[in-house]
């Protein structure tokens, strides 16, 4: 009798386990596959190290009895949660199941997500959220809304403590968008990912604008125009690969010392490709990514926000196994000028690196801030100050290398010595000045030139421009007063950066006691 009872209990457990695996049923799973999407469980299995997933709360059910919901129950309540490993590192994860009420969030669904988020924070491991949901479960009313707010609160509480990564692998609308917005990174996939506060139908009713879901909130829109998302992927498999690549550069938490990245790339190799890369003509563009790829380990650079504000580059790499974040002006796009979007993009990346003790390398070739009424009316002063604030607040090791131009206020803002970068270097091609030679001559010698015309004017101005360039279009004036620590040759860049980062690895900075700074928002 006892053996029979035990066997019955075992059969019940197996039955419930199998039932939980089917989500909303085979027909809905097929529909998910027909749309080119994996199911919630398939996504987890494709993302993590094989065989490492430990599920939580797989038998949870909702308790709503309104609108006939008591007759419509799925085990797990439309979300799969648990702990797994990625690159042998523990992570917490949740994955919304669109086959169950379109992934709509109710009280039990939210409680499961909150539980795994609490687990992640208490155990100091990253949290990954896979979003595929039609929004709040209307049948549960304010309980569903309360569930969203509980998730938002935990996102904010965990910010800067553990890495938070959001994968948008379906719709994400209304209040649901604010959880991903608070996290550190958002991944989207072309043609299946959508994020918007209000959908196309509501917009048409209220503003009479006609727009498609893809135009309003697709992967390209949020990666190229709004800057909401950091990564755009071709399909879900590429998305999972990029997440694994990103996690290789992030620590488990702000309590964990950064680990080294394995590499066989010699630290002391010469960067001979860099000898002729920076043009002597200050107006000629070049690719800053060519410098980055030459100096980092194995020419591997994980660019973040690649398709947004392309006049500045941010991303992760390593030098001699030391993991670093890189911020670099891009001379081939708008001459590398700083504007509203590039300032915000770089500032947020700097703050992330600082939160997780990732050293920063800044490569500078900047002519200044972008002039014009569009920028001024848009708040370039306010938004540009975010970049200044982020650098000045950072306490991680910071090395700055000026490759060519560093003019005006943009020189100050881009991790200059004056806002406490640890090591400031320059190539012999560097120009550090209030402005370019021609503009300076027009202002300083205005009276002298105003009475000249024709050939006399051209000759005199050329002489003054050359004199200015000889005196100021070089790094040595700044080096004379200690604002540049060393002028280096391009071919020795990699080894010099490695040596400095190695010296700075135990850097400690004591900040004034305060609740928090008041960065411009």
Catalytically active residues, by annotation: 174-175, 409-410
| Backbone torsions φ then ψ of 361, nearest 5 degrees | -115, 125
Nearest Cα neighbor of 145 from 176, 169, 190, 168 is: 176
Taking only Cα atoms into account, the Rg of the chain, rounded to an integer number of angstroms, comes to 27
Q: Which residue matches tokens 């002391």?
A: 268
Q: What is the DSSP string of 242-297?
A: HHHHHHTTS-SSTTSPPPPPP--S-TT---GGGTTTS-SSTT----HHHHHHHHSG
Q: What residues are paired with 187 via a beta bridge?
A: 167, 231
How far apart, in whole angstroms, are the C-alpha atoms of residue 380 and residue 383?
A: 5
Contact 296, 249 (CB under 8 A): no
Query: Which helix (H) or strand (E) element contains residue 397?
Result: none
- Coil, helix or strand at residue 407: strand
- Coil, helix or strand at residue 500: helix
Paired tokens of 473: 């279009």
Nearest Cα neighbor of 37 from 86, 97, 84 is: 97
Paired tokens of 13: 């457990």
- Coil, helix or strand at residue 89: strand
Q: For residue 319, how far is the Cα from the chain centroid?
A: 20
């Amino acid at each position: 009798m006892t053996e029979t009872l035990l066997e019955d209990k075992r059969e019940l457990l197996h039955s419930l386990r199998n039932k939980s695996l089917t989500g909303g049923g085979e027909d809905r799973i097929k529909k998910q596959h027909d749309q080119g999407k994996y199911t919630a469980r398939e996504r987890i299995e494709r993302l993590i190290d094989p065989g490492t997933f430990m599920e939580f709360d797989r038998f949870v059910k909702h308790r709503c009895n309104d609108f006939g919901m008591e007759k419509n129950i799925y085990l797990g309540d439309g979300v799969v949660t648990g702990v797994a490993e990625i690159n042998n590192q523990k992570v917490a994860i949740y994955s919304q199941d669109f086959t169950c009420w379109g992934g709509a969030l109710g009280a039990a669904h939210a409680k499961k997500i909150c539980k795994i988020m609490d687990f992640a924070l208490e155990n100091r491991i990253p949290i990954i959220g896979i979003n595929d949901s039609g929004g709040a479960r209307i049948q549960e009313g304010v309980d569903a809304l309360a569930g969203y707010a509980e998730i938002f609160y935990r996102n904010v509480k965990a910010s800067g403590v553990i890495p938070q990564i959001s994968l948008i692998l379906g719709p994400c609308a209304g209040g649901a968008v604010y959880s991903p917005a608070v996290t550190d990174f958002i991944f989207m996939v072309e043609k299946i990912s959508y994020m918007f506060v209000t959908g196309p139908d509501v917009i048409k009713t209220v503003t009479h604008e006609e727009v498609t879901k893809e135009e309003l909130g697709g992967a390209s829109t949020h990666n190229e125009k709004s800057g909401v998302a950091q990564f755009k992927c071709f399909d879900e498999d590429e998305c999972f690969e990029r997440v694994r690549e990103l996690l290789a550069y992030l620590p488990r938490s702000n309590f964990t010392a950064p680990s080294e990245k394995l590499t066989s790339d010699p630290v002391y190799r010469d960067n001979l490709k860099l000898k002729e890369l920076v043009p002597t003509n200050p107006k000629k563009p070049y690719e800053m990514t060519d410098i980055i790829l030459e100096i980092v380990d194995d020419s591997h650079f994980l660019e973040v926000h690649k398709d947004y504000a392309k006049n500045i580059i941010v991303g992760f790499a390593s030098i001699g196994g030391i993991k670093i974040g890189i911020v670099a002006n891009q001379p081939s796009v708008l001459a590398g000028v700083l504007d509203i979007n590039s300032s915000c993009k770089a500032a947020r990346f700097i703050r992330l690196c600082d939160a997780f003790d990732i050293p920063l390398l800044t490569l500078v070739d900047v002519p200044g801030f972008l002039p014009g009424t569009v920028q001024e009316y848009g708040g370039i002063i306010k938004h540009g100050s975010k970049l200044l604030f982020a650098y000045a607040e950072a306490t991680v090791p910071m090395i700055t290398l000026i490759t060519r131009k560093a003019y005006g206020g943009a020189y100050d803002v881009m991790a200059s010595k004056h806002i406490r970068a640890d090591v400031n270097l320059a190539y012999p091609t560097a120009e550090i000045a209030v402005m370019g030679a021609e503009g300076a001559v027009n202002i300083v010698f205005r009276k002298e030139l105003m009475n000249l015309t024709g050939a006399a004017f051209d000759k005199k101005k050329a002489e003054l421009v050359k004199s200015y360039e000889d005196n100021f279009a070089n790094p040595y004036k700044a080096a004379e007063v200690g604002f540049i620590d060393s002028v280096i040759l391009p071919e020795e860049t990699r080894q010099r950066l490695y040596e400095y980062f190695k010296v700075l690895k135990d850097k400690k900075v004591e900040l004034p006691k305060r609740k928090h700074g008041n960065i411009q928002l």
